[in-house]
Structure 1
């Protein structure tokens, strides 16, 4: 499993309410993204926003963060996002009451 932390500085015209409204509007569109397990839409008072994504495979994440998605981010926010990819070794999910341990994926490529 892969976690991606994606951040971008919001332009001054996109405030809390506008960011929240936009995220609520686009959230359903992520239901059909290949390999995406989940996405947290995030915002900070510091003027940064973005997402924390869980991916099945790094190839799905890398494919998503190019092309139309990247072009849309640049067009809307006027900047390229910062994207950090992390391999997930283990997951504690208290909502399901389980712990998952993951096989090596990135290092073995």
Structure 2
């Protein structure tokens, strides 16, 4: 499993309300993204926003962060996003009351 943290600085014309409204509008569009398990749409008082994505495979993440998605981010926010990919070793999920341990994926390639 892969986690991606994607961040971009919001331009001055996109305040809290505008960011929230946009995220609410586009959230359903992520239902059919290949390999995407979940996406958290995030905003910070520091003026940064983005997403925390949970992916099945690193190849799906890398494929998504190119082409139309990247062009749209640059067009809307005026910058390339910062994207950090992390391999997930374990998850503690208190809502389900379980702990998952994962085998090597990225490092073993």
TM-score where L is the length of structure 2: 0.99
Map 1:1-109 to 2 at 5 A: 1-109=1-109
- Residue 17 of structure 1 deviates from its aligned partner by 0.2
RMSD: 0.4
**Runs ≥4 residues deviating over 6 A:** none
TM-score where L is the length of structure 1: 0.99
Q: Which runs of 5+ in 2 are unaligned?
A: none
Tell me how many residue pairs correspond in the alignment.
109
Provide the C-alpha distance between the structure 2 equivalents of 1:59 and 1:41, rounded to a whole number of angstroms. Answer: 21
